[in-house]
Each structure stands twice: as structure tokens, then as C-alpha cells.
Structure 1
Amino acid sequence: MSLGGNNMEQDSILKHLEQFHSQCIHAAKLASEYYAKDPENIDNIVVTGVGNSALPGDLLKSYLNIKKAVYVNRGYRIPEFVGPRSLVFVISYSGETEETIDAYRSSLSRKAQVICITSGGKLGQLCRINNTEQILIPKGIPQRLALGYMFIPMLKVLENSGLCDLSDEIEKTAKTLKSPMFKNKALELADRLLKKIPLIYTSSKFKSIGLRWKYMLNETAKTLAFTGEFPDMNYNEINGFSQPQGDFEVLIINEDTDYSKVKKHMKIAKDIIKKKVRVTEIAITGDCQLSKIFSTIHLGDWTAYILARKLGIDPVKAEYSDSIRESLKK
């Protein structure tokens, strides 16, 4: 199947997609000796970051099944409840994100248990000055493709702190991610999304997966894409399909263990939508929770990349986002 642009083999982003399984294993090793300072006195977990550095927090909420509240902070200010009994993960791949640096300082002032995940930058310098635990991850990767490095260390810290049990989920997931199935399936999906506006729907449990698909289509394929979740969308957004104003492709991402009433919502909505807009269903599958989440994400990452190539678009550059970051520094 022909792809636009330069040869795929010469594309730097391709290497990171093909080595994502290795990234997950390496990320676990980087965090193997880190743990919360006082794990028995943690009431809540906060993940602070923006954009692709906040997404690991959303994924953590989808993954974890523990009696601790998980809150994702996407701004300068941290929630008022943050204090000594909070475990705060501060994530900034570049280490230069001003919103995250402000949130880091606020977390320290509240005496929270803080662990930073970064490749360095200003945040890394502040960690050294303040003697804050930091898990240093490799530089030189497009931020959106460093998801394993930003997410897996949190799981290892929680496991090392006795707050979750990973068993061999990381190893199982890495093995699954090696499969050529993702690229092959993505070729089909990219054809369906060509010159379309993707509308991505999931259950509320897996809304983080829908968000990841949106982010990658936005940044890699430079394509507008939007997300929604069941059952909420059936009380508002569904009405927009009576007279859809655009060339849409609906993706419904579902999983067998979704609540039965949520699955009923999905079926009813699909029957309505397909009368006006083509619907593609994508099943979340895997032999453990981490594999289910990362397999579906990996398929979306490949789809966005191949769509970019078919459109003749540079999949690496994110010109508008980069220009905004530069403007904020002035």
C-alpha cells in the first residue's frame, strides 16, 4: 500500500513506534529503585502535567483499582486538598513546561510527597536544588512518543511502595506490542480516516484511550479529531447526528468488561449514528489490564502515523504547539 512523503524506513518516528515495547521495559528499569517516602500515609495521588505529559495521569485512573483517589491536574495551580498525605507525580518530558513547574513549586510548599519524571531541563535543575526525587528519562524523543517513559515509572513507584501489584504485566505487554498486527490494522484504519474528521467514543472507564487517539491524530496527522464518552454522549451529542455538518468517521472503542448498561448505550447509539455516518468499532483486547490499554493506544499511534504519511504530512513537527510554547517564554 502506497504512502505519501518520504520512505517510511527513513522516518525517525517509525523507529520509536517499532521500539515501543523496548521503551516499556527500559522505563520499568529506570524506576526500579524509586518509591514513595511514606506510602502508609497517602490518601490521594495527583498527577500534574499538560498535554501528553498529563495523559499518563488519565491512564493511571483507567488502570488502577485501588482505594486511593487519583486526580489529574492540567494547570498552574494544584488542588487545595494537596498536602503531606498526597503523592504527587510531576511530569514534564522537556522539563521546561511552565504550568508544571509552577505546580511542582506549589506541591513542595504544601509538603506533599513529590516524585518528578522528566528528561531534565529547568524541572530537573529544581529537583537537584530542592533534593526532590526525580526519575530521569531519555532525551531526544518526540514527547508524544515517550508515553512509556512517562507512565510506566509511576506504576513501578506504586508497586515498590506496596500500593499496587503489577505481577508480570509489563513483560506481557511488551511482548504483545512486538506484534506486526498493529501496523497492519492501522493501514486499514488510516484508509478509513483519510480526509475525515474522526469522532472517537469510549466508555467513561477508558476515556483516556480516546483522548490519546485524539492527541495523536491532532499532533501526528495534523487532523482535527474529537472525543466523547458513554453514556453521557447519548444525552446531548447524539442529537448532532440528526444533521451532521461535516465528513465524519465515528470510532467506537469498546471492551468486553464494559458495564452491561454502557454496552447497551453503545449499541443503541451505533444503530442511530450508522444511518448518517460510517461507524468503525475497535475492540480493546489483551491478557492483562496494561496490555489492553497499551495495545489499543499503540494501534492509535500507528494509525495516526500512517495517516500522516498518506496525507504527505510531516508526522514529527507540531508547528502550532511549538510556536505557542515559544511565545509563552517571551
Structure 2
Amino acid sequence: MPVDLDDLKLLSKIDRSNMMGAVDRFPDVFLRSRDQWDVSFKKPRSSIRSVVLMGMGGSASAADVVLDWLKAALPVPAVVHREPGLPAFVNARTLFVAISYSGETSETLAAFQEAKNRGSSLMGIGHGGSLASFCDRFKAPFFEVEASLAPRAALGQLIVAASSALERAYLVRSTTREISRAAQELGRIRRRYRVETPRADNPAKSLAEKLLGHSLVIYSLQRMSSVARRFKNQLAENGKLLAKYDLLPEAGHNEVEGWHERDNMLPVIIRDAQETAFEGSIFRAFRATIGSAGRSHPLDVHVAARGRLSRLLSPIFLLDYVSLYLAMLRRIDPTPTNLINEYKKR
């Protein structure tokens, strides 16, 4: 029997750990005071020549968002790193920010210790664990975030902490005002996506029903890649669904050729609320090409938003809900991640 997304009692039985409630609270994180962190960075800004944000999984998603948001404002090159080995450029003039919600991510801890060996300036972000202990031992600033249902549900806390870390290192100006504006926008759109809002008026429920039964291929511009990758990961962790993502316009120079046979694949194109005319022409050309070749009908995800941070967080918020509604439609509890746990034990 198909799942009725307006049957709140049934959805509550499926979502036994209330991941839906964790997503509902996403806007609230950005309204909280950041005075909780009594953290100082003693080196001058001129001593930093590169920034590395290190993380895995949901912690790396926060790093992706922060760089998509603030990279243009940073006076030095910055990258998100996702493996224990470090690139050759990491040295004494690098600010190395380790992000691990649990504080126990082996790859992040290994890279953190290697950065220490190279003389890098260190910061840590997480809920505690070994990373907090390392920061205490190395006398490195540690930004402790509050507990959450799962690392992926701590995205907001980690974004705020990571942006605060860059502020404390004097690499960006205060982000308080933009964070507050984004929180207000998220609060306004939350009522449209919440489980209490019926399908007829709920874009998240409607989109989930359109996506059900398809293998999803997600596309975005480079500057929206954090949104695309987050959605791909949320489909896996919440919905237990495989998906992939790629970037435009690059995909128009290679992957577009693979759409001769679609094999039940559905393209999902994440749009930016502010695009140039040239970018709009890229999307139109890509949609028309894959539509004619594979008879597929790409779905656009477009959320109105103002401000760079809001243009990232608003579609993330929508698509987090979509991943949960897809799990409900398949009668899957979104919270357990049994295969991730098995992988970590091996």
C-alpha cells in the first residue's frame, strides 16, 4: 500500500528516531549566540598563506558550504580536504581546521596530527572526543558544538563554527548579519516543508513523489556544488538510495554523451537563485540536449533566496526534507546508518 505523506501517525512510526524533528530545527541553529566560544587566535593574518578545512561525511559537508559561501572573500587559497594524507603545500603558513562532529574520525585525526608535524596553525571543531583532546594537548582552539541526532543533522552547528573559526583567524569579516538574515529566510520557508503541511501545499512532499522510483543524477554549477553533494549524501544516508552528482558546464563536455540511454535515470538540476544570462543559456542547452537524446525530463530545483548564504542553505533545507519524504515513501527509517557503522568497524 502506498504511503500517504499526510498520514502523520504513519510517518511517525516510520521515523522512529525523529530525524524529521532534527531537520525542522535547522533554522534555529543560526539564531543562537556565538558568544559560547571563548576562542582566540594569536597569529597575525599575514602569517597564513593557505587554509585547509578537513572533514569526512557530514562534517565535510559543512566545510563545502562554508567555502562555497566565503571563498571569494578569503584573502588566501582554501580547499576542502577528505583524506588522511596531506598535499605538499600544507606547511607552517597553513591554517588547518579539522571538523569532526564525533571527534573520532580516523582520517581527520591522522591529517590533524600530520598538519601538527608540519607546523601548521591548528583549529578543531566538533562535539568532543579525541579531536578535543588533541586540541587541548596542542594548545589549539577548539569550537565545541552541541549534540545532535547524527553528524549529518549537525550541519548548521558546524557551518556556524567553521565560519566563526575563519573570523577568529581574521580571514573574513563578521558573518553575524548574513547568518541572521539566512536564519530568518529559513524560518519563513520552514512552514511550507514541514510534515504538518499537506501535500497539495508542500513542495518538498511533491518533489519526493516525483523522484520516487528513479535513479537520480544531480547537476549544479560549481558554486552550488555543496548543495548537490549534500543532496546526494542525504539520499544515501536518509533514503538509502544511490545517486550521483556532477557539475555544469563541465558535464556538457563529457557526461552529456551518456544520456543516449537513461535506464530510469532522472536528471535533477539545482539552480542558483541568482544566475547570469550566460549560465541560464548553459542550463537551457543541457536540458534540451539530454531531453532530446534520452527522452528524459529534467527537474529543476529553484528556491528563491537573497544573499549568498541563503542561496545555499535554502535549497539544502528543501532537499533535506525531500530525502526524508523519499525514505518515508519507501517505509525506511532514515536515521540508522548500518553500512556506515559496518565500514568503520572493519
TM more than 0.5:
yes
Per the TM alignment, residue 111 of structure 1 is displaced from its structure 2 partner at its CA by: 1.5
2:69 is aligned with 1:59: no
- Any residues of structure 2 matched to 1:242-281 within 5 Å, and which? 242-244=260-262, 246-275=263-292, 276-281=295-300
Q: Secondary structure at the match of 2:53?
A: strand
Identical-pair percentage = 24
Distance in structure 2 (CA, Å) of the matches to 1:86 and 1:27:
28
Q: Structure 1 81/256 Cα, relative in aligned 2: closer, same or farther at 3 Å?
A: same
Per the TM alignment, residue 6 of structure 1 is displaced from its structure 2 partner at its CA by: 3.7
Per the TM alignment, residue 151 of structure 1 is displaced from its structure 2 partner at its CA by: 1.4
2:193 is aligned with 1:182: yes
User: In the alignment, what sits opposite 1:114?
Assistant: 122
Number of residue-to-residue matches in the alignment? 326
Contact 1:31/1:157, CA 8 A, preserved across alignment: no
User: In the alignment, what sits opposite 2:316?
Assistant: 297
Aligned with residue 29 of structure 2, among 17, 23, 30: 23
Per the TM alignment, residue 256 of structure 1 is displaced from its structure 2 partner at its CA by: 4.7
Per the TM alignment, residue 155 of structure 1 is displaced from its structure 2 partner at its CA by: 1.2
Per the TM alignment, residue 212 of structure 1 is displaced from its structure 2 partner at its CA by: 0.6
Per the TM alignment, residue 312 of structure 1 is displaced from its structure 2 partner at its CA by: 0.3
Distance in structure 1 (CA, Å) of the matches to 2:184 and 2:214:
33
2:125 is aligned with 1:123: no
Aligned with residue 217 of structure 1, among 235, 240, 244: 235
Provide TM-score, normalisation by structure 2: 0.88
Contact 1:27/1:149, CA 8 A, preserved across alignment: no
Q: Structure 1 36/146 Cα, relative in aligned 2: closer, same or farther at 3 Å?
A: farther
2:323 is aligned with 1:314: no
2:252 is aligned with 1:234: yes
Distance in structure 2 (CA, Å) of the matches to 1:5 and 1:266:
36
Contact 2:56/2:82, CA 8 A, preserved across alignment: yes
Q: Secondary structure at the match of 2:31?
A: helix
Per the TM alignment, residue 278 of structure 1 is displaced from its structure 2 partner at its CA by: 2.2
Unaligned 5+ segments in structure 2 are 195-201
164-173 or 98-107: which moved more?
164-173
User: In the alignment, what sits opposite 1:137?
Assistant: 145
Contact 2:50/2:93, CA 8 A, preserved across alignment: yes
Aligned with residue 103 of structure 2, among 91, 95, 101: 95
Provide TM-score, normalisation by structure 1: 0.92
Q: Structure 1 228/172 Cα, relative in aligned 2: closer, same or farther at 3 Å?
A: same
Distance in structure 2 (CA, Å) of the matches to 1:231 and 1:189:
24
What amino acid maps onto 1:203 in structure 2? Answer: L
User: In the alignment, what sits opposite 1:68?
Assistant: 76
Per the TM alignment, residue 292 of structure 1 is displaced from its structure 2 partner at its CA by: 1.1
Q: Deviation digits for residues 133-187 of structure 1, max 9, x if unmatched?
A: 1111123421111011111112122234432232511111111222312342110
Distance in structure 2 (CA, Å) of the matches to 1:113 and 1:200:
36
Contact 1:137/1:149, CA 8 A, preserved across alignment: yes
2:226 is aligned with 1:208: yes
Q: Structure 1 160/127 Cα, relative in aligned 2: closer, same or farther at 3 Å?
A: closer
User: In the alignment, what sits opposite 2:197?
Assistant: none
181-190 or 222-231: which moved more?
181-190
Q: Deviation digits for residues 276-321 of structure 1, max 9, x if unmatched?
A: 1121111243121111111111111010011101110010011111
Contact 1:36/1:87, CA 8 A, preserved across alignment: no
User: In the alignment, what sits opposite 1:48?
Assistant: 54
Unaligned 5+ segments in structure 1 are none
